[in-house]
Amino acid sequence: MSSHLNNLDHFRILRLSDGKVEYLRQLENASCDSLSFVDRLDLILSYEATARTNRRIHRRLKESGLRTIAYSEEFSFESERGITRSQFANLMSLSWMTSAHNLVVSGMTGVGKSYLVSTVGTQAARAEMTLRYHRTSDLIEKLALARADGSHRSVVNLYRNLDLLLLDDFGLSPVPVSASRELLEILDERAGRASTVIASQFPPDSFHSLIEDKTAADAILDRVIHDAIVVNLSGESMRKLKARHVTLDSLVDPDKQKGD
C-alpha cells in the first residue's frame, strides 16, 4: 500500500475527516510544495481543530433554544439604546460570568432586550459555554411538568450546571405562588455558581410585585439582583425604526410579481 493510501487510512482511523480534506487540498495545490513539513502539518491540524470547534459551537447554539442567533459584530449602535460601546464590549467579554454575576436587561417593548440577550447567549456559545434560553413562563411550565412526571431532579440538575441561563419576558404575567417556588429552586441552585440573565419590560425594583409569593420573591431577588449588572435599554422601538426603511418603491407589486 502506498504512503498516500496509508495516510488516507490513518485519517480514517483517527477520525480526522477535516484534516483529510486539507491534506488532499495540499496535494492538489502546487503552491504548497514550497512549505516545510511542519507548516503543512500545522495547516492540516489547524483545519481539523477549527472544524471541530465550529461543530461544538453549532451544537451548543442548537441546544440553547435561542430564538435568534445574534453576533456581537452585527450589533447596531445607530440609535440611542441606553448602552454604550464600552458597556457592550464589557458584556461581550463575558468576564462578569467568571465571577458568577447576573445580568438584568430592562426596557419597554421593542427596544431590543431580547436581541441583546440573544447576543450575549450567542457569544457564550462561541466561547463554548453551556446555556439555555427560555421565556420565563415556559421554564416555569417545564419545571411543573417535570415535577408531575418524576423528572424534576434531573431537570433541576441540568439548569443548575449550565454556565448561563437566559430568562426572557420576566413578569409578562405575574409569577403565581406555585411557580414561585419552582423558579426559586433553580435560581437558588445557581446563586454564586453560574450567571443568569433576565430580560423584562419592568425595572428591577418592580420585580417583587410581579411574584405572588412574597417570601419566595424576597429570596429570588436576593439571589438575582444584589450582584447583577443592570442594563436599562431605552429609545424608540427597533421595529418602528426598521419599518421606516420600508418604502413604497421597495415593496413588491403582487400583480407585477405574478407576471415576472
pLDDT digits (tens, 9 = 90+) for 118-133: 999 999 999 999 999 9
pLDDT for 254: 42
Residues 91 and 183 in one domain: yes
Alpha helices (H) along the chain:
3-13, 17-28, 37-64, 85-93, 95-98, 113-126, 136-149, 152-161, 177-190, 214-224, 238-244, 254-259
Q: What average pLDDT does the chain have? A: 86
pLDDT for 237: 59
Residues 29 and 85 in one domain: no
Residues 210 and 229 in one domain: yes
Question: Which DSSP symbol is given to 121?
Answer: H
Name the pLDDT band for 209 (thresholds 50, 70, 90). Answer: very high
Name the pLDDT band for 214 (thresholds 50, 70, 90). Answer: very high
pLDDT digits (tens, 9 = 90+) for 153-194: 888 889 989 999 999 999 888 888 888 888 898 999 899 999
143 within domain boundaries: yes
Distance CA 220, CA 208 (A): 9
Residues 77 and 196 in one domain: yes
Residues 86 and 53 in one domain: no
Residues 29 and 138 in one domain: no
What residue numbers bound the domain in which 140 lies? 72-242
Last residue of a domain, one of 13, 29, 64: 64
Amino acid type, 59: R
Chain centroid to CA 79: 23
Q: Taking 90 as the threshold, does the pLDDT of residue 30 lie above it?
A: no
Residues 102 and 39 in one domain: no
Residues 36 and 89 in one domain: no
234 within domain boundaries: yes
SS3 232: strand
125 within domain boundaries: yes
The secondary structure of 127-173, three-state, reads: CCCCEEEEEHHHHHHHHHHHHHHCCHHHHHHHHHHCCEEEEECCCCC
Distance CA 191, CA 134 (A): 18
250 within domain boundaries: no
SS3 89: helix
Q: Taking 70 as the threshold, does the pLDDT of residue 240 lie above it?
A: no
Q: Three cell numbers at 67? A: 430564538
Q: What share of the chain in percent tops pLDDT 90?
A: 52
260 within domain boundaries: no
Tell me the CATH number at 232: 3.40.50.300
Name the pLDDT band for 198 (thresholds 50, 70, 90). Answer: very high
Largest CA distance in the chain: 75
Distance CA 104, CA 78 (A): 23
Report the number of distinct structural domains present in the chain.
2
Amino acid type, 241: L
247 within domain boundaries: no
Residues 195 and 76 in one domain: yes
Most confident of 9-13, 69-73, 79-83: 69-73
Q: What CA–CA distances, in Å, run from 214 to 106, 114, 140, 144, 165?
A: 21, 27, 17, 19, 23
User: Quick one: which of 193, 225, 221, 197 has its CA closest to 209?
Assistant: 221
The secondary structure of 206-226, three-state, reads: HHHHHECCHHHHHHHHHHHCC
